[in-house]
Amino acid sequence: MATTQKDSRKLTSMTFKRPWHRYTKGDRAGFEPERAKQLEERKIAVPTASLKKDAGGETKASNSNSNSKSESAADKA
């Protein structure tokens, strides 16, 4: 009977900023740390975790802007 080994590699989730091989802008994929570092240095992809941190602040700002727009539209009606 064949035995399987559990793969203990640690993968880094990356989000693509531009097309690369089979990936397109916005795609996410996991890579070994060495490859993830290369992709980031070449400005092809960024760690997904860093995007989530940045998006947290932007989401709050964009939500407040959309709320103020809807309130002003309600005031006009």
> Facing residues of 23 across strands?
20
Can you list the positions of beta strands (E) in the chain?
Answer: 12-16, 28-31, 45-47
Q: What is the pLDDT of residues 24-38, one digit of tens each?
A: 999 999 999 999 999
Domain-wise residue ranges, the chain: 12-76
In 3D space, the residue among 41, 57, 45 whose CA is nearest the CA of residue 12 turns out to be 45
**CATH of segment(s) 12-76:** 3.40.5
Residue 12 and residue 31 in contact, taking contact as beta carbons nearer than 8 Å = yes
Q: What is the pLDDT of residues 19-76, one digit of tens each?
A: 999 999 999 999 999 999 999 999 999 999 998 777 775 544 444 455 555 555 555 5
